[in-house]
Structures are given as C-alpha cells and as structure tokens.
Amino acid sequence: MKPFAAKKSPWARDTRGIRGARRVTTAVLALPLSVAVALPLASPAAAQENAPQPNPSIFGDIVDPDSVPERIPQSIDDQDLPGLPDGVSVEKVEWLTDRWANVYINSAAMPGEPVKVQILLARDWYNQPDKTFPSVWALDGMRARNDESGWTLSTNIAQYYADKNVNVVMPVGGAGSFYTDWDKEQNGVNYKWESFLINELPAVLREGWRTNEQRAITGLSMSGTAAVNLAAHNPGMFQFVGSFSGYLDTTSFGMPMAIDYAINDTSGLSATNMWGPYGSQRWNENDPKQQVDKLKDSTVYVSSGNGNAGAYDVQGQIPGFPANPAAWGLEALANLTSRNFVSAAKKSGVEVIEKFRPSGTHDWPYWQYEMTQAWPYMAKTFGLSEEDTGATCAPVGDIAKTADKYRTQLGTCITNEYDAKDGGKVQDFRNGRVWWKPSTGAHATWGRISARYSEMGGADSWLGYPTSEEITIANGRGRFVNFENGAIYWTPETGAVPVKKDIIDAWGRTKWETGPLGFPTEAAADIDGGQWQKFENGVIVRNKDGKVQYVQGVIANKYIEAGGPSKSGLGFPTSDEIGIRGGAFSTFDDGNIYWSAATGAHSISRSEIFKAWGEEGYEQGKFGFPTSDETEENGVRKVTFQHGEIRMVNGNIEKDYKG
C-alpha cells in the first residue's frame, strides 16, 4: 500500500489545531448541517451539566498531533509466526516500552509498505505468560497519520489501559479510508482495510500476541462509522462496538457529498472510488443505520456531543457557541447522524447504549472521555472479573521501599508482586517494574532500558536480575543499568543495547563510553563460532575460546567490511589496538591490519611477504606502511607500501624498493 500524508483541513482529527482555518465549504455541508443548526444551543450553564469535566486522575496531557514526540524503539525483532494467511507475515516488531510494541505486517490485501499496528499489552502479560486476553481495537480518525495513532498522540490511552487485562490494538494510517475496501485504486492508493482487519490481523494477534476471540471495536468520527460497519459486516466477530462522534448515516440526502468532500480534502481521493456512485448498493451496504439489525448480538455504544462549547472548548462570542465553528459543525453532524442510527436501531429491536451529551465538540478530549465511559460496558460484555478491570495492588517489603523511592519514574502499581526466577519476585507498575531476589535486593527498571530488558525475558534472560537503577553517563547523553551478568546501555541514537560482562571488561580497557569506542550500537551477534558486538567506533570480539579483544576506528571498519574472522581471512583478533609511531595496528590469528593517516587501513597476512617486510623493519623501516591489501593475481602475491612493493613470485621473494 502506498502511504501518504493527510492534508490539513477543518475536517480534522484534532480541531484545536485549526482555529482560524477556513470553514467547511457551506455549499457541500449545507443540507445535513441545516438540520444540525436547528439543534438548540443550550445556555452556558446548561451546557456544562453532565458534561465531561477535567480530572487529573483520568486525563493526562493532551498532545497536539502536529507535535509528534520522538519514539525511539528499544529493540527491533523478527517475529516468524505460524498459522498466518498466505502472503501475510510480520516484517518486524519495535518495542517502545515494556507494554507498547509496534508490529509491522506484510499484508496480502494491501501489499507494498508493511501495515503498522500498535499494541498495548494487557496488565498480566508478564505475570501470566500462558494467559490469552480480549482485545480492544481503537481506530483512528479522518486525518490518521502514517507514523502513529492519534489515540497515543492525543489521549492517555496507554496509561488508562495499563491496569486492565486487555490488549489494545491500534492500526496506524488509513487517512480518509473509512477503514473499508475501496472499489478502485486512485493515485497509487488501493485501500483494502476491511480485508486486512478482518482476514489478516486477527491471526497475527492470535499467534503472536496471545489475543483471544473476544473483541471490542471502537472509533471516532470517520472510524466510528467504520467500527459499526466492520461489526455489522462480520456478525459475531466483535462482541462490543463503540462509535464516538461517528457519522452513522451515510446515505441520507447530502451525506454522500459531505463524505466525498471530507475524503477529497483529507487525501485528494474520491468517495466514488470507495463505494461507487452515490446511491449505489455499496453505499447502502456501508450505511450503519441500514446495517443495524446485524448488531443484535453485540453491545452497541453510541455517543456524541451536540457542538455546544463544553469543558474543553474556548467560548465564542455567542454564549454556548465555541470559538471554533468547524468543531461545532462536525459534532452537530455526528449528533444528527448518530440519532438517526439510534432511531433505526429501535425500529430493528437493537438495544443501544446512547450517550448524547448536552455539550461538547469534535475534539480529542471528548473522545478520551468517551473511551473511559465505554470501558465498563466492554468489561461487562467480555465477562471480565472485577480484578481484570483495574488494579487492586500494593507493594510490600523491599519492593515497596524501592517503589516509593522511584515513584516518579514508576507510577502506581498494576499488579501485586509475583514469583520470578531463582526465588525472586517482580511487580509491575504503570511505567516500569521492580525486581527482587535475596542476593541482589530490590531494583527498579523503567523507560527504554526496562522495555529492552522485559522484551529479552527479564530475569529469565542471560542478564539475570538488575543490581542497580538507571545511572546517567556521558554528560547526560546516555544511561545504563547493571545486571548480574552484564548491563544495558542506552542513548537516543543507539537505543537500549545489552552487553555481557566480559565485553564490558574489554570495553573498560578503553575507558568505556568516554573512550574511542563510544557506546554499543547493537547486541552481540554470533560469528564463526564466536561473537562480536559493534560500537559507535569499533567492535569487540570474543573468539571460540572466550578471549575478548577490541578493534577500533578505521581498523575496525576495515575488519567489519571484510566480513569478520573467516571472510576476511584474518581470523579473530589476538590483541587490542596497538599504537605505533605514525599510526596503529591490530593483530589477528592470521595477519594484521595497519593504519596511518596517510595510507588508511590495509591488511597483510603472515606470509613470506610479511616476513620480508619485517626484515626491513616493518612500518618503521624503509618500505613504510602498506598502501594496499595483500593481493594475488596470475600466481603473483604482492603488497604495495609507501616506498615500494614486495612480491612473491614462484615461491621467491622480490623486494622492489622505491625510496
């Protein structure tokens, strides 16, 4: 699928960012909005009654989607899953925190760039490793970005669900798509979202993310429409469906034109390529009010404000009217179409949990509020126990002392402590974890380093238990945490990288991150029966016998580019870098690499040529440093030097000095 960036428009998923922008074209929205305008404007006092109120315990900071925080993955892993449909695979998994993974899925329905799906893991993901969990799907709005869901950009969804035993699933992208299968490709875009979401994503969630068949699907604005349609088209797949300010009537007079305008303004695409000509069968098939009878076995939640200025709006000049007219108009339209849907549901005998608020506009703070209000109905639908709907926990003992000391970093607990390896204990918190065993005591991990540690398996990994908290180094550039058998180092540029003790010791010979090697850039990898670990300016290598040496700078680049021990023909390093007058060199099993500023880095084997060069004093002698690698052509081996060439021809050494 060809990705593209949504354009800015009044039909925005965060209307706070468009104050002062042009209004929605009146001619296009005149018909549906003319009815919406007839909705009475409540007085300011009445408008606030029963409206959502800001509550620090529920609401976090609202992030403007135009200001995207930098999300640096702490590890990027492969995930080879069985049981996926033909043509579907996982390209990679990025771990952002202990509980947030980005999964990139190669789709058969939408080939090309992998489809990104954000997953927030259930509360008991770690302490009940055999348990499967229900899922809550949160679809994005009309102006969905290609890099991150609006739900994580603009709400506290990660914090809110942290203590709840469900996996939260957020597809990324799909601006103006209505998360449907489009009839035609346009401008290189061929949306097949329904095929992906229904036929491909569930298998990935089942096989890779311990997600069971209990599902809730929710959406806002455009995706409120999509959530209802997806549930109606696939009866029984979603036991709960929620629409927050959705457009739940797509065929009444004027609505197809309004939708077409919105899609075109968002993405430059046409709704007639989505569902065909206005009034065609596909428009009827994707009209929520006409499909409502298929939702009899689902819990249906519908909410909307009415456009009046509410708790999160700036009051306009007219009492009760918001300063942002687009936010008013869009919510009034959502209110109107949602009421049409509820009326159709009543005629079909479908029960709807309807929440029509006396105020509120088309904006993220209201959708965050509705997310929290819909949750109890989801939990009841899933049959979750009270324990699974929120945390009732308390730290005790040494873990409690550590949790209190680092409460700013950790947040509140979401589980009680539970058993871990070697008689230890671990307890999960909203932003990290605390680990304890008798020999190490209690230590907290949080942030990027904690994400990497948890992804590796925590105390079950080769690292063992933490023996320190985060320590700041390199004038604030980096952090590290010590573990029983190594450490994890982090910088914004390198991410979180685990390092074993013997490599740390070799690195220490260069003064760790303050020395020439810098920080580690990736985890150790197997090579030729040993291992090597790359750093910002070098590599540390462990040979088959466990001996560890470092290679740095240009010499390291030369060795790495040559492919390491076997491919380079040099074998494993047998020394750290050795400084000499005018340059440096490193020794290997079967040769050396020499470097000088004038010549660069070049390799030479321990051959007769090397011996002959040694007879002349090596690089300090009359031939100087090598200026080429050792080569063989037509049976002649040779190395060129700063002041000549040494060859081996038919087993005989020839020295060609050019002083």
Residues 93-109: pLDDT tens digits? 999 999 999 999 999 99
From-to residues of CATH 3.40.50.1820 in the chain: 15-381
* Distance, CA of 464 to CA of 96 (rounded, Å): 21
Which of 94, 194, 200, 331 is flagged as catalytic?
331
pLDDT-wise least confident of 47-51, 305-309, 505-509: 47-51
Which pLDDT score is estimated for 266? Answer: 87
CATH 3.40.50.1820 fits 15-381, yes or no: yes
Which of 221, 245, 338, 454 is flagged as catalytic?
221
Q: Is the dihedral of CA 273, 279, 280, 283 positive or negative?
A: positive
* Distance, CA of 475 to CA of 466 (rounded, Å): 23
280 is catalytic: no
Each residue's pLDDT tens digit, 163-209 = 999 999 999 999 999 999 999 999 999 999 999 999 999 999 999 99
Do strands 133-138 and 578-580 pair parallel, antiparallel, or not at all (unpaired)?
A: unpaired
331 is catalytic: yes
* Distance, CA of 456 to CA of 449 (rounded, Å): 11
Alpha carbon of residue 222 to chain centroid: 23
Which of 107, 267, 359, 362 is flagged as catalytic?
362
Do strands 600-605 and 591-596 pair parallel, antiparallel, or not at all (unpaired)?
A: antiparallel
Which pLDDT score is estimated for 182? Answer: 98
pLDDT of residue 31 exceeding 90, the answer is no
- Cβ–Cβ under 8 Å, residues 230 and 236: no
Question: What mean pLDDT comes out for the span 268-289?
Answer: 97
632 is catalytic: no
* Distance, CA of 492 to CA of 479 (rounded, Å): 10
Spatial strand order in the sheet of 578-580: 578-580, 583-588, 591-596, 600-605
* pLDDT level of residue 320 (50, 70, 90 thresholds): confident
Each residue's pLDDT tens digit, 551-592 = 999 999 999 999 999 999 999 999 999 999 999 999 999 999
